[in-house]
Amino acid sequence: MEKSNRHENRKNEQLEQFRTDDQNQALTTNQGLKVSNDEFSLKAGVRGPTLMEDFHFREKMTHFDHERIPERVVHARGYAAHGEFEAYGTAEPFTKAGFLKKGTKTPVFVRFSTVVGSRGSAETVRDTRGFSTKFYTEEGNYDLVANNMPVFFIQDAIKFPDLVHAIKPEPHNEMPQAAAAHNTFWDFVAHNTESAHHVIWNMADRAIPRSFRMMEGFGVHTFRFINDEGKSHFVKFHWKPKLGVHSLVWDEAQKISGKDPDFNRKDLWESIEAGDFPEYEFGVQLLPEEDEFKFDFDVLDPTKLWPEEDVPVTMIGKMTLNRNVDNVFAETEQVAFHPGHVVPGIDFTNDPLLQGRLFSYTDTQLIRLGGPNFHEIPINRPVCPFHNNQRDGYNRQTINKGRVSYHPNSLANNTPAPASPAEGGYEHYQEKVEGRKVRARSESFNDHFSQAKLFWNSMSATEKQHIVEAYSFELGKCDMPIREMNIEVLANVDLELAQKVAGNIGVTPPAEGGSDVTKSSPALSQENTVKLPDTRKVGVLIDNGFDGKEIMPVLNELEASKMKYEIISETQGKVTGADGTELEVTHTFSTTDAVLYDALYAVGGPDVSKAFAKNAAKFLGEAFDHYKAIGAAQEGEKWLEAAKMLDQPGIVTTGQTTDFTKQFIEAVSAHRHWDRDVS
């Protein structure tokens, strides 16, 4: 299949060597033998047994039997796209990384994921999202294996298996799928108070993103930048989406899980196919080494963020995703990320979570991809050459010539030869380290609640309400005493929050508690994000007999504002306006749903059937309850009136304004209208 939006870069050229197009070709076995019949196995007589000598049957069936590989132990459900990163050059004083030099363009491959669910699970579940980027740089692959939340549940990698065992479906009955709302997870949370900060993020709206295109990304750990002079800065990595950070509402997210379990991947795929390329700016928070101890938390603690108001984010480049994969298994499933894939100019810190990750990612690829040669799989190959004395292993593809596979040597002039740092050889930062061998947590990691409270303080009233509802939902799915134990922990964050949740889940509300942190960080609230009409999707409820002269300019204007619309009617085919205008129906009421749109435009027609009116009322009620913008004209306005939805925020009708289109577009851009009365 030729792709319309193939974007040329070195990675794409490299992948091209491995692509194959089976269309219009003769059918062969894997040995290249042409096959004369692929319908029937070879038998002794038409009603007789299949013969062992049927090599075609055996090969076909054996390959099929071995098609599956183990899914990722976490982040199994994911979706990816290719793109390009271009550096602004603003990072040059701080890092010698070549791909961050001004104007450098680097091919990237980005995989988004949920964490908990298995490979076939629904996508709009409440969960952290993965945001992994492989930069195919000229100095080797650099992987930024990030999440859409800036902190993590645990401070030490040794707890990761416990965390994951607790949050995955319970082993005795394998329930629930892709959900944290069960006893073992909250048992873990109650016993590991360091998780309080990440947990409150997971209870907030960021855990149900509207789109992968509307999520931030965070490297979580503190890394190091090293510049040409060898000076080190601590650095936190950020991705900032051009479209802002937007979320679904919980009721909607749950319904989408059934109506369209592929909601997020479809959104990504379709946007790229339509040429609406997702864009993210790459930003860094930088801290000179001398300032390591200037905070009231430890910069090595992965449960802590650096408030952006204290350490501003400097933008250092832009990433554009511009090409969908050709084959999900070959690319998305086989891509192997590793936080230890670094390039000169980027180094690690002693964050004990990061240190453990540096082990885990190679280890997991060995079982998942079946051996040590996974770097040879096309999607994982660097675009620069690679040479060393590693040899053999399952599925080795490289044919290394010559007799030398050791170093040092004289038979091959001591090559392949290590390079000095000046020649681009990677040199680890010479941090001074001393201490006793201890299994212990640094005391500087002991404050588990202040930043959870900072996050809470930063939320708008609506966001706080959502957080209360999320804790109540999750703990409401747990039993006593898990509920009580968690209220006790939550009381350390905010007393009012703990009291409200306790009231909802039948636990005696705590009388005292709460962190005394009063600080807030406005950057954490989604209220303060970018709001644009771009790529917002409007469902148009419309029937025959509509007024084309009124409706068509509106639809054209939506498109001119980079919005999308789909025509929803009773039957597939065309709807025809009173003036003969024809519109192709995208969906009937049964093949789509109100939860799949950002907004609805209710038009109807003069003679809608009872069934049409009933479905329209259902769609409008749902959109209304999810605080979405609703525009209405003609018949649609009467529906809103009958449902008592007029005069509410985010409701725009032609009867009420002469400036309908502009106001409707503004209402859609606002994302949601939280001040609406949905009671």
Tell me the closest approach of the beta carbon of residue 268 to ligand HDE, in angstroms.
Answer: 14
The question of whether 147 is a catalytic residue gets the answer yes
Phi–psi pair at 322, nearest 5 degrees: -130, 5
Size of the site for ligand HDE (CB under 6 A): 23
Judged by CB under 6 A, which stretch of 70-78, 284-292, 402-410, 441-449 contacts ligand HDE? 70-78
Residue 72 found at the interface with ligand HDE (CB under 6 A): yes
Site string for ligand HDE, 194-223 (x = CB under 6 A): --------------------------x---
The question of whether 165 is a catalytic residue gets the answer no
CB distance 584 to 567 below 8 Å: yes
Using alpha carbons, select from 284, 34, 505 the residue that is nearest to residue 490: 505
Tell me the closest approach of the beta carbon of residue 364 to ligand HDE, in angstroms.
Answer: 4
Tell me the CA distances in angstroms from 496 to 205, 502, 514, one per residue in order.
Answer: 19, 10, 8
160 is in an annotated binding site: yes
Tell me the closest approach of the beta carbon of residue 392 to ligand HDE, in angstroms.
Answer: 23
Tell me the closest approach of the beta carbon of residue 348 to ligand HDE, in angstroms.
Answer: 13
CA–CA distance, 231 with 378 (Å, rounded to integer): 36
Residue 583 found at the interface with ligand HDE (CB under 6 A): no
**Eight-class DSSP state of 205:** G
**Eight-class DSSP state of 595:** G
CB distance 468 to 172 below 8 Å: no
Using alpha carbons, select from 567, 593, 592, 558 the residue that is nearest to residue 669: 558
Give 90-150 as a 3 state SS string. CCCCCCCCHHHCCCCEEEEEEEEEECCCCCCCCCCCCCCEEEEEEEEECCEEEEEEEECCC
Tell me the closest approach of the beta carbon of residue 269 to ligand HDE, in angstroms.
Answer: 17
| 303 vs 653, beta carbon nearer ligand HDE | 303
Residue matched to tokens 């001004």: 102
| 118 vs 586, beta carbon nearer ligand HDE | 118
Phi–psi pair at 175, nearest 5 degrees: -140, 155
Tell me which of 147, 148, 202, 486 is the catalytic residue.
Answer: 147
User: Which tokens go with 95?
Assistant: 């890092």
Residue 489 three-state SS: helix
Tell me the closest approach of the beta carbon of residue 132 to ligand HDE, in angstroms.
Answer: 4
Residue 265 found at the interface with ligand HDE (CB under 6 A): no
Judged by CB under 6 A, which stretch of 199-207, 353-361, 549-557, 602-610 contacts ligand HDE? 353-361
Tell me which of 75, 198, 238, 673 is the catalytic residue.
Answer: 75
What residue number has its CB nearest to ligand HDE?
A: 130
**Residue among 145, 226, 517, 542 that touches ligand HDE (CB under 6 A):** 145
Tell me the closest approach of the beta carbon of residue 393 to ligand HDE, in angstroms.
Answer: 18
Residue 360 found at the interface with ligand HDE (CB under 6 A): yes
**Residue among 11, 77, 78, 501 that touches ligand HDE (CB under 6 A):** 78
368 is in an annotated binding site: yes
**Residue among 7, 10, 41, 73 that touches ligand HDE (CB under 6 A):** 73
357 is in an annotated binding site: yes
CA–CA distance, 151 with 357 (Å, rounded to integer): 15
| 221 vs 246, beta carbon nearer ligand HDE | 221
| 146 vs 180, beta carbon nearer ligand HDE | 146
Residue 361 found at the interface with ligand HDE (CB under 6 A): yes
Residue 575 three-state SS: strand
CA–CA distance, 540 with 666 (Å, rounded to integer): 17
Residues 83-112 that bind ligand HDE (CB under 6 A): 111
Residue 304 found at the interface with ligand HDE (CB under 6 A): no
Residue 81 found at the interface with ligand HDE (CB under 6 A): no
Residues 6 or more apart whose Cβ sits within 8 Å of residue 279 = 241, 242, 318, 319, 320, 321
Residues 602-661 that bind ligand HDE (CB under 6 A): none
| 130 vs 514, beta carbon nearer ligand HDE | 130
Using alpha carbons, select from 314, 418, 269 the residue that is nearest to residue 93: 314
User: Which tokens go with 464?
Assistant: 């706080």
Residue 344 three-state SS: coil
Judged by CB under 6 A, which stretch of 235-243, 350-358, 437-445, 531-539 contacts ligand HDE? 350-358
Upstream peptide bond of 553 is cis (omega within 30 degrees of 0): no
Residues 6 or more apart whose Cβ sits within 8 Å of residue 43 = 49, 50, 51
| 156 vs 593, beta carbon nearer ligand HDE | 156
Residue 132 found at the interface with ligand HDE (CB under 6 A): yes
Q: What share of the chain is helix, strand, coil (3-state, %, to 5)?
A: 30, 15, 50
Going by the annotation, the residues of the binding site for heme are 72, 111, 160, 357, 361, 368
Going by the annotation, the residues of the binding site are 72, 111, 160, 357, 361, 368
Question: Site residues (CB under 6 A) for ligand HDE?
Answer: 72-75, 78, 111, 113, 130, 132, 145-147, 152, 157, 160, 220, 337, 353, 356-357, 360-361, 364
| Residues annotated catalytic, as ranges | 75, 147
